[in-house]
Amino acid sequence: MKNLRFFHLYLLPILLILPILSGCAGLFVAGAATTVNIATDPRTTTEIWQDQNLALEITGLSNKPPYRGEMRITAYAFRGSVVLIGQSLNTELLNQFIQQAKQIKGVNKLHDQVRITEPLSFAKISNDSWVTTKVKSALLAKSELNGVKVSVITEDREVFLFGYITREHAEIATDVARHVSGVKQVIKAFEYAD
């Protein structure tokens, strides 16, 4: 009995705090989030894997010559539908990149959301991370969206919302995101379940 009390009063709190102090909490949280994502994602694990590889391949393409240093592009894929987000210094080079990305095996549709402007500074990228955090927090706080998975990406204060949800949930999520301070524009990139 004494050992059990010692465990509950001293050892258990230390064991729970230790991963946070050592920086391993992120791995635990990320692992739990991935499990939830897979459990609520309508895609098969193979489709998820293919979409992740497709996004990585396209994003990686922007880091190779002649694109390196001329653009900052990130790709997001859902069932072969790809959204390009970022900045490019050159319209012609961006068009060349888009044509090359369309040729990659697995790309069904390609949506260009790349802006012709200087790549974002570290300060702007940091601010975008903060906006993303605020939007995610607001979405989590909305009871109508309980259990609904919405992915949020922010680029230059433009908030992109992704997910496989109903149209009603999409409208609620969009409205919530629009009212978060620091959001310039909300762009819906949902796949609808209804």
User: 105-147 pLDDT, tens per residue?
Assistant: 999 999 999 999 999 999 999 999 999 999 999 999 999 999 8
Per-residue pLDDT, 176? 98
Q: What percent of the chain has pLDDT over 90?
A: 70
* Sign of the dihedral through C-alpha 156, 120, 163, 192: positive
Q: Mean pLDDT, to the nearest integer, of 164-174?
A: 96
pLDDT-derived band at 194, boundaries 50, 70, 90: confident
CATH number for the domain formed by residue range(s) 45-116: 3.30.1340.30
Per-residue pLDDT, 40? 58
Contact 143, 128 (CB under 8 A): no
Q: Pairing state of beta strands 151-155 and 109-116?
A: unpaired
Q: Which residues of 78-88 are buried (b: 16+ CB within 10 A; e: fewer)?
A: bbebbbbbbbb
Question: Does the domain formed by 122-192 have CATH 3.30.300?
Answer: no
Q: Check residues 139 and 2 and name the one with the higher pLDDT.
A: 139
Per-residue pLDDT, 5? 55
What are the extents of the domains in the chain?
Answer: 2-40, 45-116, 122-192
Q: Check residues 85 and 24 and name the one with the higher pLDDT.
A: 85
Would you say residue 35 has pLDDT above 80?
no
* Alpha-carbon span 48 to 45, nearest angstrom: 5
Q: What is the pLDDT of residues 62-102, one digit of tens each?
A: 999 999 999 999 999 988 999 999 999 999 999 999 999 99
Are domains 45-116 and 122-192 of this chain identical in fold? yes
State which amino acid sits at residue 170: A
Length in residues, the chain = 194
Computed over every residue of the chain, the mean pLDDT equals 85
* Alpha-carbon span 53 to 104, nearest angstrom: 11
Burial class (CB in 10 A: 0-12, 13-18, 19+), 94: buried
Quick check: helix, strand or coil at residue 149?
A: coil
Distance of CA 96 to the CA centre of its chain: 25
| Tokens linked to 1 | 């009995």
Query: Which candidate, 194, 188, 192, places its Cα nearest to that of 79?
Result: 192
Q: What are phi and psi of 73, to 5 degrees?
A: -125, 140
